[in-house]
Amino acid sequence: MAEPRYPFWLGGIAASIAATFTHPLDLTKVRMQTMPPLPSGRKPTMFSTLRYTIRKTGWTSIYTGISACLLRQMSYSLVRIGMYESIKRPFMRGKDAKNPTRLILAAAIAGGLGGVAGNPADILLVRMTSDSLRKPPDQYKYRHAIDGLVRLVREEGVRALARGLGANTTRAVLMNASQLASYDYFKAFVVRSWKLKDGLGLHVICSTAAGVVATTVCSPADVIKARIMHVSETSSVLAVTQKLLREQGVRGLFKGWTPAFVRLAPNTVLMFVVLEQLKKAWTGRFAR
């Protein structure tokens, strides 16, 4: 029996709904990477950063940049999920249909395309969520994502839309290959081995496992990217990686794994649970 076909935009809607709930965690992550040391002199943690944000700018500030977040989901996630669903169909035909390598390849290609599509929105998201940490003369003060997009092109040129494209696309490839491919793999494995029926329990188990895989795979890229952004001088990825391994060993590549998982896991679970429900609703109402 052929797998039902779903609208290309369904993944973007599911990701947008999930991101609406988890945006405060994304904002906290960006501010942890960009904010100066706390008055106490301690390094900022996820909870201290969130507490500092609320105390300084109020509860509503935890949703600063939500328009850029939604624009990112309706570009980056829409393309990466929609293209994955389209690409994996021909990849999963034939005698090697259950080969997980094909799932990973399909997800990696879709992730790269999503990274390119979502790069402008990602720039806006970083700027809008960290704008209050800048000195007033250096603030961008975008009113919303569309205003930011227009001003970005007008003030910095069309080439500015590709700022950080290489690093962003690399991370998108890693994220998609680890998150989407592992979810499909775990789902097939659990149904086959545990005889668990398709339902909410299956979706939660498999999406949580996918969150673990995605956090682990993306952790080295996140750590290296953060270290490159932290220093003022220009450093190559290879140089930063070699220095990190020399000073901290392989464990250094997974520094901050726990807060990264706390941020990514809820988003992954919500996204897949909502996506499965949207698929079920679409199949029941429109696919007859």
Distance CA 123, CA 160 (A): 9
How far is the CA of 59 from the CAs of 24, 64, 136, 261, in angstroms? 10, 10, 21, 23
Q: Is 2 exposed, middle or buried (0-12, 13-18, 19+ CB in 10 A)?
A: exposed
Query: Both tokens of residue 265?
Result: 């896991």
pLDDT at 232: 42
Name the residue among 117, 108, 90, 158 with its Cα closest to residue 12: 117
* Mean pLDDT for the chain overall: 86
Q: Is 69 exposed, middle or buried (0-12, 13-18, 19+ CB in 10 A)?
A: buried
How far is the CA of 139 from the CAs of 55, 127, 135, 142, 236, in angstroms? 20, 9, 6, 9, 28
Cβ neighbours of 93 (radius 10 Å): 10
Q: What are phi and psi of 273, to 5 degrees?
A: -65, -45
Q: What are phi and psi of 37, to 5 degrees?
A: -55, 150
pLDDT digits (tens, 9 = 90+) for 80-137: 999 999 998 887 776 555 678 889 999 999 999 999 999 999 899 888 988 887 888 8
What are the structural domains of the chain? 10-34+61-282 (1.50.40.10)
* Residues comprising the chain, all counted: 288
Whether the pLDDT of residue 197 is over 60: the answer is yes
For the chain, the straight-line distance linking the first and the last C-alpha, in angstroms and rounded, comes to 15
How far is the CA of 21 from the CAs of 2, 26, 31, 259, in angstroms? 34, 10, 18, 17
**Mean pLDDT along residues 178-191:** 94
- The 3 state secondary structure assigned to 37-69 is CCCCCCCCCHHHHHHHHHHHHCHHHHHCCHHHH
Q: Is 208 exposed, middle or buried (0-12, 13-18, 19+ CB in 10 A)?
A: middle
pTM above 0.75, yes or no: yes
pLDDT at 231: 46
* CA angle (180, 183, 184) in 5-degree steps: 90
Cβ neighbours of 1 (radius 10 Å): 3
Distance CA 98, CA 109 (A): 18
CA atoms lying within 13 Å on the CB side of residue 125: 27
pLDDT digits (tens, 9 = 90+) for 7-45: 999 999 999 999 999 998 888 877 776 666 656 666 667
pLDDT at 1: 46
